[in-house]
Chains A and B, each alone.
Chain A
Amino acid sequence: MPVLTYREAIRHALAEELERDPNVVVMGEEVAQFNGAYKVTEGLLAKFGPKRIVDTPISEAGFIGMGVGASMLGVRPVMELMFWSFYSVAFDQILNNAANVRYMSGGQINCPIVIRGPANGGTNVGATHSHTPENVLANHPGVKVVVPATPADAKGLLKSAIRDNDPVFFLENTILYGDKGEVPEGDVLVPLGRADVKRAGTDLTIVTYGRCVLHSLAAAELLAKEHDVSVEVVDLRTIRPLDIDTVLASVAKTHRVLIVEEQKPFASVGSQLAFMIQREAFDELDAPIHRLATIDAPAIYSPPVEVEQLPNPRRVLQAALEVLA
């Protein structure tokens, strides 16, 4: 199987979908001539030309709203936010217009838009550029939210997202862009809303997504070696729709749960998961559900300290031991 970086996997998904459907347009700041702020779209302008790969001004409310309007008439825009953190300046377009237009029109209008870009901390860019808005986005019925952790998932999920008739928000990670992994060749889709057990285990379930999957896998390795604990790592991959069944099946096996997320703790994705697990699997639990999140403050700049603010393998390990105690 070919090995691709996460960045290349996304690029391949874009290129394949551009090839497949003439309605697909890639649009965003620096995506064309500059070849992408993070080089995700490198080479696409040369291959598909300026009608399909479109540079926008720094004007998120304008161009995202424009994409929403174009999607109502059947264009399928894939909009790049240089950082998902910039969603705040386009909030009305994303969460009033894209999220609500189908409902408010009584189902007459679809909005098949994809908005993608990185949403992560850990790169020392401070509080304004380190938002992880998956909980905020998923709080809006009508939208779908995807957070891939691996190159194969990134490609397969993005292809599904572009073909989806509902608005899909696709949250990548700048730190993962260079990570390599095997990616199946050809037109292989990963359906939205299906979690993936990234590591099987029997003593503890870690429910996680995005880059925290990698931290959890690293911690699981250490837990196996140093503590003789068998950890199952469930990667949600999609936040909404949510594959709670896979989570519950794992809980029924391990009876202990740690949620790991790069979110601020208050009303996070993990908060929702913890509610659902206790509600639907209370009798399976041998310990209170635990959750490891980002330390509750705006993202700190200081490079060595930011590592400690975010979940990392050491913090995951520690939290896991607390659940197992």
Chain B
Amino acid sequence: MTKKTSTTAEKKPETAAKSAGFSQAPINAGLSGEQKIGLFRTMLRIRRFEERSLRAYQAKKIGGFLHLYIGQEAVAAGCCSLMGKDDHVITAYRDHGHAIAVGMDTKGLMAELYGKATGCSKGKGGSMHYFDPTRNFWGGHGIVGGQIPLGTGLAYALKYQGKKGAAMAFMGDGAVNQGAVHEAYNLASLWNLPVVFVIENNGYSMGTSQERSSAGELAQRAAGYDMEWGQCNGHDVYEVRATMDKFLSKAREQSRPSTVEIDTYRYRGHSVADPDNTYRSKAEIEEYRRTKDPIQVFQDQLVAAKVLDAAIVEKIDAEARAEADQAADFAEASPFPTPDDIQKDVYWEADNPSERKSHGRLFFE
């Protein structure tokens, strides 16, 4: 099986020509050189973090699952770079890229993977459950599609509170077949909620290709809910930003939801437990790496535009690698939570005993 050809390319033969134009879209044309380098840096930091975490996993420093974002960096970096103070993000279990893109410290992220008390979720969530509400980042959710009603609820709260923001609710291409997603689509459209549902279509729901798991076009299903939808190339961060800007503005200004399918690709297996030798060819992966790598594509654009040169790239890369190593050192040196911590952070009331109003036992043996 191979990854389904991007419908964007099929339906819009002008895509290649347009692609060059995305750098000139207003949302991109206004970026300073420094801001463009910032985007590039974010993407590279995500990749180096992921590579470092893979090494830590292989060294048995990390338990459970590890779903790497390598190859998809332009999606999280592009989308999250558009966030204003009242914009919010929620995603599924492949959440490291979004967490870095919203500005979380990689030390806390790596420590969370190591199961340390200094982790962003105090070692209680793990790889799939990063959270940082201070950066409007609401997880990090483990059940496919289960976060989409929550993201719709973030949008509901924004509207209820009269704030002019939008929620971005990310999911993978496998999530579009979950009932909760469709229930959320209906509510969002019915109630005019400011949410953009983002399908990061990497072609495979775990080890099952899109054509073996999903009938029809993925984003187009939104039309059935009277919702606008779009598709874009997720290998080009300019295109991601230009497309998302349009739909985010619609959410913020008109309080209308939409669904955007972003064509992307993951180089690694579904998780590191996936031997990745049953459902796609090495040649396919290599082809993506060679021709569509989002970091290389953006680097080439920035070098051509004389925003970057080899020396700056090298410096940024060295810094990203050093940051990932420092995060791993920090995680390594940090303490584990103690058994006494197991029953903390379960109930608000138990953690705030002076304000507790209820009586009786909250915990049992």
Contact = CB atoms under 8 A, between A and B. Distances in A.
Contact of B161 (A56, A73, A110): A73
A241 B361 contact: yes
A70 B360 contact: no
A73 B143 contact: no
A142 B350 CA distance: 10
A194 B132 CA distance: 35
Contacts of A195: 360
A106 B150 contact: no
Interface stretch (A3-11, A58-66, A297-305, A317-325): A58-66
B270 interface: no
B182 to A, nearest CB: 8
Interface in A100-146: 101-110, 141-142, 144
Interface string B106-133: 0000000000000111111100010111
Interface residues of A, number: 56
Interface string A287-314: 0000000000000000000000000000
B274 to A, nearest CB: 23
A65 B360 CA distance: 28
A93 B361 contact: no
A97 interface: yes
Interface string B125-156: 10001011110001111110011111111101
Interface stretch (A163-171, A172-180, A215-223, A254-262): A163-171
Contacts of A12: none
Interface in B331-365: 343-349, 351-352, 357-364
B126 to A, nearest CB: 8
B287 interface: no
Interface of B: 88, 90, 119-125, 129, 131-134, 138-143, 146-154, 156-158, 160-161, 179-180, 183-184, 186-187, 190, 343-349, 351-352, 357-364
Interface of A: 25, 51, 56-57, 59, 61-75, 92-93, 96-97, 101-110, 141-142, 144, 160, 163-166, 191-195, 238, 240-245, 272, 276
The 4 closest A-B CB pairs, nearest first, are A69-B153, A65-B149, A62-B183, A193-B360
